[in-house]
Structures are given as structure tokens and as C-alpha cells.
Amino acid sequence: MKVVIQRVSKAHVTIDKKIMASISQGLLIFLGIVNDDTIEDISWLANKTANLRIFADENDVMNKSLLDVNGDAIVVSQFTLHAATKKGNRPSYIKAAKPDIAIPLYESFVKELEFVLGKTVQTGEFGADMKVELINDGPVTIIIDSKNKE
């Protein structure tokens, strides 16, 4: 399981010209799932994301987490995070989990993140053609892969 986390001052997800999710200060989280991801990946990654110290403290040092600043989150499924680009110029998505595996894991990740944060997490729509707009604050962009936790 892989995430691309962007610290944002605002972000929103639009589907068919309708805003489906919108936040101010917080994290925009793109989530990619592979076939061998498990509930352990979900738990570890949700906790890591919520506690990642990438928000400024009173000394303007990145020392506060999403929990500390009571920020919001949007989670967007993105199978392209697992693109294989080694051969040729057309990415292969063979590693990305199919919907029957990915949807339950995506939904579980959102629920786990909500549990850790103690608040509702907004989402896009799995498999939809989404337009994502954001103002990356910093810019701060972090990539975390649950397979590299050790």
C-alpha cells in the first residue's frame, strides 16, 4: 500500500462538475493498493499518516501532526501509484489491485484513518474520473510505502 501525502491549505475533488469533497488545512492523500496489501498495512499506514509531523509549530518547524493541528483529510484512490515504468513508455498497472480487492481495502483505510483522527475523512469516488484541485502548502509532499516500513 502506497500513499502520496500532500499538505494542503485547501483541496477539493470534483466528479461530473460536482464537488464531492472539500477541505481547508489538512492532507490530501492519494492511496494506491496492491494485491498483497493487508489490514496490517492499513493500520500502520493510517497511524503513520495521522501522526506524520509535517505541520509547523510555533517556531515554524515541521513538528506537528494532522492530529495536533486538528486538520482535515481527503483520501483519493489512485491505482497509478503502482505504475511500472521500467520497460517502454506506456506504464503498466499489473501490480495495482483489481476493484474486488482494492475497494474493501480502500474503505477500510478510510475507516481506520477516521478512527485514528476521531473525525470524518472525506473521499473521492473509487474508480471515478475525478478532478482534484489543491494548494500544496510548502510545498510538502511525502511518499510512504507500507512495504518499506522496516
Pure H helices in the chain? 39-51, 66-69, 99-117
Catalytic residue flag (residue 80):
yes
pLDDT-derived band at 149, boundaries 50, 70, 90: confident
Domains held by the chain: number: 1
**Host domain of residue 128:** 2-148
Rounded (5°) CA angle 55-116-53: 20
Q: How confident is the model over 31-60, as pLDDT tens digits? A: 999 999 999 999 999 999 999 999 999 999
Q: What is the dihedral of CA 107, 109, 115, 117, to 10 degrees?
A: -120
Q: How confident is the model over 112-122, as pLDDT tens digits? A: 999 999 999 99
What CATH code is carried by the domain that includes residue 30? 3.50.80.10
Catalytic residue among 14, 38, 80, 85: 80
Place of cell 496489501: 37
Cα(134)–Cα(44) distance, integer angstroms: 26
